[in-house]
Amino acid sequence: MIKNDLYLKALRGETVERPPVWMMRQAGRFLPEFRAMRDEYDFFTRCRTPELASEITMMPIRRYPLDAAILFSDILVVPQAMGMNFEMRDGIGPWLEKPIRTLEDVQNVIVPDVDETLGYVFDAIELTLHKLDNNIPLIGFAGSPWTILCYCIEGKGSKAWDVAKSFCFRNPEAAHLLLQKITDTTIAYLKRKVEKGVSAVQVFDSWGGALSPEDYQIFSWPYINQIVEALSPLTHVVVFGKGCWFALEEMTLSKVSALGVDWTITPELARTLTNHTMTLQGNFDPTRLHSSPETITKMVTEMINRFGKDRYIANLGHGILPNIPLENAEAFIRAVVDWKPN
């Protein structure tokens, strides 16, 4: 039994004394011990070495009273397993030397045996669960098929993802074939994570907001929902779509346990769009962590009061930024841990 199960209670919709708290991208980036390891090992070496990935996962847990851990990894390990040689380049970020541009390229993409290609992730889960010693839950994650497709077509990050979108609009057959291959791989990957002992999984649709509401229902949500349908009988599934508030009503009709929301929507509207029945997660603007600790405490308290303590997981509206002061991150977490009803 997990000793601190606040996060799981929130996912189940149970009454809690306070909301649970964790931060997206909490395993790294802003922590000095993470940066020290970064100077010694390149990014994907850290992802692919179970001992390193496990250690990074534990770094924020040792510093802060968080209610959940999320395994250190990256969404791009899935397309790597499918035969796409993504690198992480300094000053650029994700980089794919030969992006997918044709139907033939898509046909050459494999749906791998995840045990053969992603076994290092599963080994990291085992190591991390041993270190957590049933104190808090461990979250596994994957990128949404649409978000993965964006990187595979563009070959790098983008502000508008216009190359990826144009590919889909000009070559819908190829786009849907690629999306299905990513979906099938992701389902197998997340199922294995559950078998290895994670308590919940989160799907990150980081670039879903680049699509119109109509195109979101064509190129993103149907594939996320396949993942939800496959995983929901096995574990809690959280879906976070950045900029995707327009899809919250549709998402609420699915079998998700919780929906993440970003800072572009008010708590009140998020509750209304989800019919006041859904556990919500978010939605503090990560850049707001540059405010003073006093301001952060005040704003977090207000955020909880507006969402309500039940069916709510306190979190950021996207990943924590690399240059956030440690005391500001702590102020965010402490404000949730110390929250009391009025």
Q: Please confirm, yes or no, whether 25 is among the known catalytic residues.
A: yes
Q: Is 240 labelled a binding residue?
A: no
Q: Is 25 labelled a binding residue?
A: yes
Q: Is 44 labelled a binding residue?
A: yes
Q: Please confirm, yes or no, whether 62 is among the known catalytic residues.
A: no
Q: Please confirm, yes or no, whether 151 is among the known catalytic residues.
A: yes
Q: Which of 234, 236, 242 is nearest to 260 (CA)?
A: 242
CA pair distance 244, 226, nearest whole angstrom: 18
Say which DSSP state 210 is in: G
CA pair distance 19, 316, nearest whole angstrom: 13
Q: Is 312 labelled a binding residue?
A: no
Annotated active-site residue in 38, 63, 101, 306: 38
Helices 326-337 + 293-307 axis angle, to 10: 40
Q: Is 164 labelled a binding residue?
A: no
Q: Is 28 labelled a binding residue?
A: yes
Q: Which of 40, 50, 41, 44 is nearest to 81 (CA)?
A: 44
Annotated active-site residue in 7, 64, 151, 216: 151
Say which DSSP state 102 is in: S
Q: Is 318 labelled a binding residue?
A: yes
CA pair distance 22, 37, nearest whole angstrom: 22
Q: Please confirm, yes or no, whether 48 is among the known catalytic residues.
A: no
Q: Please confirm, yes or no, whether 29 is among the known catalytic residues.
A: yes
Q: What 3-state class would DSSP assign to 29?
A: coil
Q: Is 151 labelled a binding residue?
A: yes
Annotated active-site residue in 29, 63, 101, 306: 29
Annotated active-site residue in 7, 64, 67, 74: 74
Strand partners, 187: none
Q: Is 281 labelled a binding residue?
A: no
Q: Is 176 labelled a binding residue?
A: no
CA pair distance 182, 176, nearest whole angstrom: 10
Q: Binding site for substrate: residue ranges?
A: 25-29, 44, 74, 151, 206, 318
Residues that constitute the known binding site: 25-29, 44, 74, 151, 206, 318
Active site residues: 25, 29, 38, 74, 151
